[in-house]
Structures are given as structure tokens and as C-alpha cells.
Amino acid sequence: MFNNMAESIGKTVLRFLLWCLCYSAVAVIGNIVGSITGSDDIMSWTILSGFVLMTFLYLGKHYVELSFDRIERRVVWSSVGVSFLIAVAYVFVLVSIFTLIDLEQFFSKEIESLEKTGKHLFLGIAGWLYGCIFCPVLEEIGLRGILLGGLLKARCCPWLAILITAVVFALLHGVGVHSLASFVFALIVGWIYWRTGSIILCMIIHIINNSLSFIELDGQSNIVTLLILAGSMMLLALGLWWFARKSTTETATQMDGGQSRS
């Protein structure tokens, strides 16, 4: 049994490393093309094309499956709605906390770099498509679908698998405050994936998170910001409670036992 588990984990790691190689190659090629042409638009379209190709390649090869098979049909659309709620609530929790502690005074250079990168990445239609749509989709395929899904199929301890995936996800997003926010995000999304077995919900949360990543609460009083924080935390907790109540033990058992690929 141990040999089978080690073999499964080894295959999962190799598949994930291949995904990382492809993902990095697309980004590097896009930046090279952008440097040669001197055009941000051409760079964005190049990266978008690579991400679209990768997405259809991985979905076509059935490395992950887009389905709601383990969610009761009567609550599928409710699950989508709650995923939207969780994504929005998480964004406002982060923004509220960052505003209250005046994050810029501690990480001014990092935040300035992130803002420049964000504006650069989301420039134009192509930038928005790959930054808000295909980047989240691909990252969910790689991190939750291949890595976390593979570890769960190999009968790795669910919380250990979620933690490992969260650490990797955080490291892929740099260091400092952005990495910490990514780590917490990955814990939440990883838990939802384990409980529901649906990568579609993870993609929805990730897409909304990226789309709302530049929301700011500057100019709001501390009282208003605290109220927003309290309300957002309540909504986030409510959403997680809903998934804990609606997703079944059978779902988690199936994920651990590897009876499905998504």
C-alpha cells in the first residue's frame, strides 16, 4: 500500500512540474515577444493564446474534469451562488484589513510593485482575459486539479494535502503580504475542493477574486471599514458553513479514495 501511495504521489509531482514548466514557458515567451515588439498588447495576446492552448490541452486530456458530479443536483446553482459570495467576501475582508492597518507604510515598495504589475497585466481586453479568466482557470487546473487532486487520490491526509498545495500556491505568488493572502486563499479554495470535489467552484472563486483584486476602501472612515470587515467576515463564515453542511462525508471519502478525477 505504501509503495502504491508513493508511486501515486510521484506521478502527481511529475504532472504538476510539467504544468509549472508549461505555465512558465508561456509567460517567458510572452515577455520575450513583448520586449522584442515593444508592445504590451502583443505580449498580452501572446500569453493569452498560450493560456488558452494550455487550458484546452489539459481539459482535453482529462487531467481534470469540469463537473458537479458529487454535488446534489438540487443545490448546484446554490453552490455557484455561495462560491460567488465567498469570493466577494474574501476580497473585502482582505481590503478592509489592509486598509485598517495601513499596509502601505510597512510594504510600500511591494504594494507599488503589485499595483504596477496589476495595471500592466490587466491592460486591454487580452490582459483582462488572461489575468482574470484563463490565469485563474489554469492555476486551478494545476494547483487544485493536478496537485491537490492527485495527493487526495493517493490517500494523502486531506489537511496535509491542502496545506502543501496552499504553500506551493503562495510561493508561486511571490513573497510578503501577497504571498500570505494567497496562502489563506488557497486554504479556503482547497478545503472547498476537498468537500465538494468540483474544480468549477474553485475556478469561479478564483476568477471573481482576480477580477475584484483592485478594489480599494481609501477615504472610508475606520468605523465604516470595520463594519465592512465584520459584515464580510460573517458572509465568508456563512458561505463556508453552507459548504460544510451541504457537502457530505461521502464526498470527502470519495476524494480521499481516488474514485474520481476531479
pTM score, whole prediction: 0.87
Residue 52's pLDDT is: 93
What local confidence, expressed as pLDDT, does residue 165 receive?
Answer: 96
CA pair distance 6, 130, nearest whole angstrom: 35
pLDDT in tens, the chain (262 residues): 667 788 889 999 999 999 999 999 999 999 899 899 988 788 889 999 999 999 988 887 777 777 776 777 788 889 999 999 999 999 999 989 888 887 655 555 655 555 555 555 556 788 788 888 999 999 999 999 999 999 999 888 999 999 999 999 999 887 677 788 899 999 999 999 999 989 999 999 999 998 887 777 777 788 999 999 999 999 999 999 999 987 654 455 555 554 444 4
Nearest partner of 184 among 262, 103, 86, 111, judged by Cα = 86
pLDDT at 254: 52
**Which cell numbers in the block locate residue 90?**
474574501
- Contact between 11 and 150 under an 8 Å Cβ cutoff? The reply is yes
SS (H, E, C) 129-192: HHHHHHHHHHHHHHHHHHHHHHHHHCCCCHHHHHHHHHHHHHHHCCCCHHHHHHHHHHHHHHHH
Q: What pLDDT is recorded for position 200?
A: 93
Distance from the Cα of residue 200 to its chain's centroid: 11
- Crossing angle (nearest 10°) for helices 177-196 and 222-246: 30
> Measured between alpha carbons, how far is residue 105 from residues 100, 108, 110, 114, 175 in Å?
12, 6, 11, 15, 17
Burial, 81: exposed, middle or buried (Cβ in 10 Å; 0-12, 13-18, 19+)? middle
Share of the chain residues as helix, strand and coil, in percent rounded to the nearest 5: 80, 0, 20
What pLDDT, on the 0 to 100 scale, is given for residue 220? 75
What per-residue confidence (pLDDT) applies to 100?
Answer: 83
Report the pLDDT value the prediction gives residue 124, as an integer from 0 to 100: 73
Q: Where are the domains of the chain?
A: 2-257
- Within 13 A of 171's CA, how many CA atoms are on the CB side? 8
Beta carbons within 10 angstroms of residue 89's beta carbon: 20
- Cα(221)–Cα(232) distance, rounded to whole angstroms? 16
